[in-house]
Each structure stands twice: as structure tokens, then as C-alpha cells.
A and B are shown apart, each in its own frame.
Chain A
Amino acid sequence: MLKIGVPSKGRLMEKTFDWFGARGIAMRQTGNDREYSGAVDGIDGVELVLLSAGEIPRELSAGRIHLGVTGSDLVRDKLADWPAQVAELAPLGFGHADLVLAVPVAWIDVDTLDDLDAAAAAFRAAHGHRLRIATKYHRLVRDFLTKNGVADYQLVDSQGATEGTVKNLTAEAIADITSTGETLRANHLKVLSDGLIHQSQAVLFLARAADWGAQDRATLATLCARLGLAAPADL
């Protein structure tokens, strides 16, 4: 059976069902709407697995599902060397969100990463500790700042209400996802002009570590043909 992992609730699930439905693959929840079980009609040999979107990268990495729908931000943040572990079969065109770096709007001297780096050096000298950036996207943010040569900062973990950490004095800046920027503005923050770390959207991923038997390869080829996608050549 080719297992496909799909977010288990909310808009991501609905939009995923819509995307497949528009291409002749009908996905539906079975049982009552609180039960996490589903079915796929219109193609044989495919099993629907409903999972938390945040756990789908891990399940893909372990190869417990063959395909999975989740945010491109989550895969890049949770999986080391992600292209070696998963392949992007198709961007799905929904679930758009930008991971951005934001600082207080009153920092009139900071507009770019270059400014942030210089401000961080001065902040450390004045305050005795590195400038704190609150985020839950540790790998993405660290790689981005390393690539751009920003030093003298530290990441502090924030799993929610990240925009409030600056006011609460547990961080000086934040890196978080935003779609309209409204929450940032309400918390007196602005996005750096070159502070776009990643433009995320929902993506259909393929797990390289999954058990790809002859049957599953055949099912994948059929599925890809139905979805209008090229099957990956290097599987």
C-alpha cells in the first residue's frame, strides 16, 4: 500500500482534499468528523494517513509514509539535509506564509541584516549578552543568519505568541511566520527589508527512505500521471 500523509484537520486538510479532488483523486474522512481515519477513491493501492502537519516531516524522514503534504518551512527546519531525505513532487499553491525576521518598529537605525549585525555587536557590548532572537524555526533562522554573516546573536526558543517576546523582554527581535503582517504591526515590530528567510507553502513531498516496492512504484506512476506530475527520476 502506498501511504500518503495528510494534515488531520482544518484548512490544510480541506485544501489538500480539494487539490487532489480537482485532479480526480477523492479523499475523505471516514467515520465521524473527529475520527482520524480516511479513504481514497479513484485510485487503487493508496492509503490515507491523517497526521498532525508538524509530524509529517518526521514520518517522511523515517519512511513510514511514502508521500506527505506539509509546509515547506517545516521540512526545511526539521530535517537536516532535507533534499537527501525527501523530494518535492509539487507545490500545492496554498498554505502560503513567509518566515521573516522582525525588529521593533522604533529601531530607526536598523533596516537590513547588515544593520542587525552591527546593532547586535553594540548591544552585546552595552548589555553584556548576545542579542536574542525568539523563534521556533531554529535551523532555518540559524542557517540564514550564518549565510548572511550575522554574529553576536542568540536564538531563544518560542513555541507561540512569539511577537510578544520583545515586549516581555525575553528577546530583542523575532523570526516567525506571517501572512499579512498584522500581528507584527500590532506588537510594534517591522520586517527587515532583506529579512525574508523562506516563502513557505504546502508541498507534496516524497519520502526517499520509504519502502518502494514494485507495487508502490507502479501506484506512484499511476498517481503522478493522474496528478499531471513527473515521477522523480532518481527514486
Chain B
Amino acid sequence: MTSKAAIRAEAEILFAAFRAEGALPVEADILQPAETLLDLYGEDIRARAYVTTDPLRGEMMLRPDFTVPVVQAHMAHGAEPARYCYMGEVFRKQDSHSTRANEYLQVGFELFDRTAPEQADAQVFALFARLLAPLNLRAATGDIGILMAAVRGLSTTDRRKAALLRHIWRPNRFRALLDRFSGRAPMPAARAALLDHLQKDSPEALTLAAGTLVGLRSPEDIAARARALIDDAATPAIAAPEAALLYDLLSLQAPARAALNHLRGITPMLPAIAPAVDRFATRLDALDTLGTDTATLPFEASHGRTSLEYYDGFVFSFHAADPALPPVASGGRYDALTAVLGQGRSIPAVGGVIRPGLVARLKGSV
């Protein structure tokens, strides 16, 4: 058997297993409108996805994943609750001369259910764990929902919370903002100079004095942000104990049950995370019931915080021993994505993908 045929055979087995769970097979176009993906992921996606041009339909992308088209299909005409599975190639540009594949098969499973999200999380994880069990992979889990709840619960302005939430998937930028808002990093000289200048007159007068205004960004846009900067400069730093809890949370890494105990311990000081911690506890109970040992299951509060991701709750991945290999499987909860794509409607959703090419390789069949 050629390696492609062996990988496809592996994919068929996984696909059949998802169908046996009652998942409805869905197909997605390989050519996706670029605009939707660009609006979701930003310009960074151009570095990862193949862009091509259709003379009538404009910019198109070779699908970099299935989640977006599957969610779109569900939002357009799906019944609830729903479970879907899919199998097909995805395309990812590799910008360096690495050995990572730029075209590979994915087999995926997505669960749309509003009744018991934590049960759904546990079901998806347990299903993936069962299918991958023969490979002895290392599991990794996280929960971005706890981090988001902690940010929302900070005693600071809505503007600062929004800035932190906007960069939650960009860990370096998030850290820089948090350092600034908590007073750990000094105000950069450029910002101090800018604020000095803004104090001199009204934003409108300063804009006029600065020179001819060109472009679409209006004097009102400029004045609004200038006032926001002045307000923000007067905002007190996030209190040290509260900031310390957030830093602690960012670096929390422990077996899931121990992590839960730790989170229970800090909840009285950060009460806003209580509902998210309760959901975490419910999910761990559900995982235990389904046969996952949560006393040893690894948990990292920051797991899954990379760009080009859209997870906002439970996240998981399965890794081979060789650190050079990409994750064999990954997934998570993406409730916010369904709201963005649903134009006002949304549905709690969780799912994941397996790379049959890596499964076949680890089994030694290619």
C-alpha cells in the first residue's frame, strides 16, 4: 500500500468511528471565501493559508480547517442538537523549509449542544482518548474560559478588560498589557510624551494644529481615542494582589484535580472566576465518569493560547513522544465563533480533529 493509501485507510477507520457515534458526515468546499477567514483570524492567516484569486468571486483560500465551513453550514440549516464528522485535506503554508506537511488529511468531530456543555466537552475528549489509546499519547488540557473570567472580573475599567480580552490569544502582547495595567512595567517614554502633548489643548484643536488630516479616520475617531488615553492615564493600576492572582493563573500547570483545588483556593480572592471553576469541576466529574483519570490528567491554564485559534473554553491536544511532531489531535470549545458566524445567533460548540497521517506513522504503517 502506498503511504497515501495507508493514511486514507487510517482516516476511514476514524471517520467510521465518528459516524458510529451518531455524527452526520458533512462535506466542505476546498475553496473558501478569503474574506470570512481574514475577518476571523486577521492578516496573520495569509502567512498560513494558500490564497488564490477567482476572477469573479475575488480572493479565495484553500481551506485551512473545517471548523468555519462546518459552523456556517450548521448555522444556515442545522437541527439541534447536532453532531457532525468530516474527512478531507486541509492546506497550510509552511514558511520555512521545515519537514511539516503543507497538505494533509484531517478527520474531525463537532458537537453542537446547549443542554450540558461540560458533558459535551467530556464526551468529545473521551471519544478522542479512546480512539487514540493504542498510541500511548500524552494528553494536554486547558480552559481558556477561566482566564477570560478572571480578566472580566478584574477591578479595572471596561476598556482595559476589553484590551486584555482582545489579546488573550497573543500571550506576549497580553503579558505586556497586563504588565502595564498593573504597574509592573513603567510607562514607555513615547506614551508619556504623547500624554504630555494631549494635555496641552482639546483633541480637536491639537488635531487641527498637527496639519492636514487625510484619510478615512475622522476627527471624531481621533478625539475619542485621545480622550480615552487621557482617561486611561488617570486609571489606577490593577491592585497588586489581584494582578498577582492573574499572573499565578497564567502559569498554573498541574494535574487537573490538583489544579481544581488550587483554583478553589484562589476563588474567594477572585470571585468572578467561581462560575468558570464550577464548570471546570463539573467537566472533571464528567471525565471521571467516562473513564479519564483526572488525578493524573495534565492541565495548563494557558494551554491553547496561540494565534489563529478561536477556543474560548475547554481545550485539549494529544502529543507523540517526538517533540518535533505536531499534535496528533487537538480541539476545544468555540462558543464565540458560532456567535460571530451566526449573525446574531449562537450555539455552544465543541469539537476536534485528528491527523490520520500521524496516526499511521506512529502505528508504523507508513
Are A and B subunits of one complex? Answer: yes
Residues of A at the B interface (CB closer than 8 Å) are 80-81, 84, 104-112, 114-115, 118-119, 121-123, 126-127, 130-131, 138-139, 142-143, 145-146, 148-149, 151-155, 166-167, 169, 171-172, 187-189, 193-194
Cα A79 to Cα B213 in complex, Å, equals 36
- A196 CB to closest chain B CB (Å) equals 13
Q: Which of B149-187 contact A (CB under 8 A)?
A: 163, 166-167, 170, 172-173, 176
**Contact at A109–B225, with CB atoms within 8 Å?**
yes
Which 10 A-B pairs have CB atoms at the shortest separation, nearest pair first? A149-B173, A106-B213, A81-B96, A105-B211, A166-B215, A109-B225, A109-B226, A167-B214, A106-B210, A188-B212
Cα A148 to Cα B96 in complex, Å, equals 20
The residue that A119 contacts in the complex, of B95, B97, B213, B225, with Cβ under 8 A, is B225
**Contact at B222–A106, with CB atoms within 8 Å?**
yes
Residues of B at the A interface (CB closer than 8 Å) are 38-39, 42-44, 46-47, 95-97, 163, 166-167, 170, 172-173, 176, 188, 190-191, 193-194, 197-198, 203, 206-208, 210-217, 221-222, 224-226, 229, 307
- B169 CB to closest chain A CB (Å) equals 9
**Contact at A104–B214, with CB atoms within 8 Å?**
yes
**Contact at B167–A187, with CB atoms within 8 Å?**
no
User: What residues of chain B lie closer than 8 Å to A151, measured between beta carbons?
Assistant: 42, 166-167, 170
Do most interface residues of chain B lie in helix, strand or loop, or is the interface mixed? helix
**Contact at B38–A126, with CB atoms within 8 Å?**
no
Cα A59 to Cα B95 in complex, Å, equals 19
Quick one: given A106-B210, A107-B217, A149-B172, are A80 and B43 in contact (CB under 8 Å)?
Answer: no
User: What residues of chain B lie closer than 8 Å to A152, measured between beta carbons?
Assistant: 42
Cα A78 to Cα B207 in complex, Å, equals 38
**Contact at B95–A80, with CB atoms within 8 Å?**
yes
Cα A99 to Cα B253 in complex, Å, equals 42
**Contact at B38–A108, with CB atoms within 8 Å?**
no
Q: In this complex, what residue of B is CB-closest to A131? A: B217
User: What residues of chain A lie closer than 8 Å to B208, measured between beta carbons?
Assistant: 106
Can you give 16 A-B contacts (C-beta < 8 A)? A105-B212, A106-B212, A107-B217, A108-B198, A109-B194, A112-B194, A114-B191, A118-B225, A119-B221, A123-B217, A126-B221, A131-B217, A146-B43, A154-B38, A188-B211, A189-B214
**Contact at B213–A104, with CB atoms within 8 Å?**
yes
